Amino acid sequence: MTLKDKNILLCITGSIACYKSVDLYRELKREGANVKITVSSSAAKFISPYIFESFGEEVFSDDAFKSPLAHVSLSKYADLILIAPATYNTINKLACGIADTLITLVVSASQDKPKVLVPAMNPNMFSNKILQKNLDSLIEQNFYVVSPGIGGLACGDFGEGKFPDTSDIMFELESVFKEKTLKGRRVLITAGATREYLDPVRFISNASSGKMGISLANEAIKLGAEVSLIALNIDTSCQYINKNIRIIKCKSFADLKDALLSEFKRCGILLMAAAVSDYSFKEKSSNKIKKGDLNLNVELVQNEDLLKALSEMKKEEQIIFGFAAETDSVIENGRKKLSEKSLDYIFINDVSKDIIGGDENEGFLINKTGEIKTFKRESKNKLAEELLAEISL
Ligand code: CTP
């Protein structure tokens, strides 16, 4: 709930995508933000200010300045100015310092308040060199820009210029308010469950969904890190995954081992949230085994402990953070794994408490000096935020 109690000034300028800002407004309110709205005179032709007034909001418009100093009081009110959609015209005016509408006037008076632009327009307009040059210049002046989506637009053209998904915009807004504590850090995260195949259709695996690892990856991006996510058999449609996360898809223990061996040396922090199979089949069939032909005494071989192996090759400045699922003697087993695998941190949870696959988690964090911190049940996103804040750099 990074946006809780934050004052957001939602400025809507005249693109056909205006109606999408209603969803954005609703999401901001759901996250506990206070919202004031300004609608430009062209935007008011696409959507009626009554929409927001019927939610009990006061709407400020170009043609009806509530007071001659509305732009000054609105810019003072705002913790963040969000221009969504931001048209070609408004972006170019802002870059040139033109202030002839309520929205451009508010920006002119906003000093160093964070400002987020959500461009939405025809792809030819978006790729126009004048606009691109002006966007670069606004970025240099600390404006944030949410990249438009790619797809079919109202005009019938296909390309870059679509109003982005609300979740992408919300992600950017939350990022703006975060201190970039992981800027310049490379974070490697593993998530999901390995699959050890017996034949092309049968495998040993476990119920880990990968949600905790995805929450960690999203949070690390918000903190400014460069993030790679080794995703093991995750349904990537089940949860928001920020597009700046580099995803390396793997299936089996062997794939994971290869990926870790090539990625680990370049990372500063490894968060090993994946549930790794301790066994693989000694022999695998490349064809599906018919039921009558299955040897019921299939032989398993033990997989090596990857964290242990990585700890042995770890450089002084690297941080290794392990996870453990337990059902008994939770803390005792956690301590044992921390020490046997030479970890800097371990987060242990009691999986008898109906946690696997859900959106919430709880557990204990132990650091290498043996200190324990308890985390009560909360969303995996919130827990990810708290766990990353615990890592001392
Ligand atoms: N892990 C690993 N290599 C394995 C098994 C696990 O690197 N072969 C990592 C997991 O990704 C996790 C941590 O070790 O970060 C603990 O995993 P867990 O399955 O809880 O413990 P195990 O070491 O496998 O021990 P056990 O199954 O006996 O509890």
Give the confidence band of 128 by pLDDT, cuts at 50, 70, 90: very high
Residue 2 forms part of a structural domain: no
CATH, residue 383: 3.40.50.10300
Which CA distances in Å does 204 have to 257, 273, 279, 281, 297?
17, 18, 8, 9, 15
Distance 276 CA to ligand 1 centre (A): 6
* Catalytic (active-site) positions: 155
Closest listed residue to residue 120, CA positions, set 88, 94, 96, 82: 88
As a residue count, the chain comes to 393
Residue 1 forms part of a structural domain: no
Residue 246 forms part of a structural domain: yes
Give the confidence band of 313 by pLDDT, cuts at 50, 70, 90: very high
Strand positions, DSSP E, the chain: 7-12, 34-39, 59-61, 80-86, 115-119, 143-145, 149-152, 158-162, 186-192, 196-197, 203-204, 226-232, 246-250, 269-272, 279-281, 300-302, 319-326, 345-350, 360-367, 372-379
Partner residues linked to 364 by β-bridges: 348, 374
Residue 66 forms part of a structural domain: yes
Distance 137 CA to ligand 1 centre (A): 49
First-residue to last-residue Cα distance in the chain: 24
Whether 172 and 111 share a structural domain: yes
Distance 334 CA to ligand 1 centre (A): 11
Residue 67 has pLDDT above 70, yes or no: no
More confident residue, 66 or 275: 275
Residues of the domain holding 332: 186-390
What digits encode the pLDDT tens for the residues 207-227? 999 999 999 999 999 999 999
Which CA distances in Å does 297 have to 66, 128, 203, 250, 291?
81, 66, 15, 28, 13
- Going by alpha carbons, the residue nearest to atom 6 of ligand 1 is 276
Is the pTM for the entire model greater than 0.85?
Answer: yes
Whether 163 and 223 share a structural domain: no
Whether 99 and 38 share a structural domain: yes
Provide the number of structural domains found in the chain.
2
Whether 256 and 338 share a structural domain: yes
Instruction: Give ligand 1 pocket residues (Cβ under 6 A).
Output: 272, 274-276, 278, 303, 305-307, 322-325, 337
Give the confidence band of 42 by pLDDT, cuts at 50, 70, 90: very high
What digits encode the pLDDT tens for the residues 329-386? 999 999 999 999 999 999 999 888 877 888 999 999 999 999 999 999 999 999 999 9
Whether 140 and 191 share a structural domain: no
* Nearest-10 crossing angle of helices 166-176, 211-222: 50
Residue 369's Cβ-count burial label (10 Å; 0-12, 13-18, 19+) is exposed
Q: What is the pLDDT of residue 292?
A: 86
In the chain, the percentage of residues whose pLDDT exceeds 70 is: 99
Whether 229 and 307 share a structural domain: yes
Query: Which residue among 216, 233, 272, 328 has the greatest number of ligand 1 atoms within 8 angstroms of its CB, and so is best to mutate?
Result: 272
**Interior angle at CA 145, CA 140 and CA 147, nearest 5:** 130
Q: What is the pLDDT of residue 64?
A: 55
Residue 181 forms part of a structural domain: no
Alpha carbon distance 294, 272 (integer Å): 34
What digits encode the pLDDT tens for the residues 237-253? 889 999 999 999 999 99
Q: What is the secondary structure of 164-233 as a DSSP string?
A: PPHHHHHHHHHHHTS--TTTT-EEEEEEEB--EESSSS-EE-----SHHHHHHHHHHHHTT-EEEEEEES
* Domain finish residue from 152, 176, 200: 176
Whether 166 and 204 share a structural domain: no
Q: Is the peptide bond before 85 cis (omega within 30 degrees of 0)?
A: yes
* Domain finish residue from 118, 149, 176: 176
Whether 338 and 217 share a structural domain: yes
Give the confidence band of 55 by pLDDT, cuts at 50, 70, 90: very high
Residue 57 forms part of a structural domain: yes
> Cβ atoms within 10 A of the Cβ of 227, count?
27
Whether 163 and 198 share a structural domain: no
Closest listed residue to residue 42, CA positions, set 98, 103, 105, 94: 103
Residue 283 forms part of a structural domain: yes
Whether 386 and 287 share a structural domain: yes
Whether 171 and 222 share a structural domain: no
Q: What is the pLDDT of residue 63?
A: 67
Looking at ligand 1, which atom is closest to the CA of residue 348? 20
Mean residue pLDDT across the chain = 95
Give the confidence band of 155 by pLDDT, cuts at 50, 70, 90: confident
Whether 170 and 200 share a structural domain: no
Q: Which residue has the tokens 């964290």?
A: 307
Which CA distances in Å does 124 have to 46, 94, 202, 319, 360?
21, 20, 49, 46, 44
> Cβ atoms within 10 A of the Cβ of 298, count?
13
> Cβ atoms within 10 A of the Cβ of 150, count?
13
Give the confidence band of 294 by pLDDT, cuts at 50, 70, 90: confident
Distance 331 CA to ligand 1 centre (A): 15
Residue 116 has pLDDT above 60, yes or no: yes
* Domain finish residue from 176, 197, 225: 176
- Going by alpha carbons, the residue nearest to atom 5 of ligand 1 is 276
CATH, residue 111: 3.40.50.1950
Residue 291 has pLDDT above 90, yes or no: no
Q: Say if residues 131 and 92 touch (Cβ distance below 8 Å).
A: yes
Q: What is the pLDDT of residue 293?
A: 85
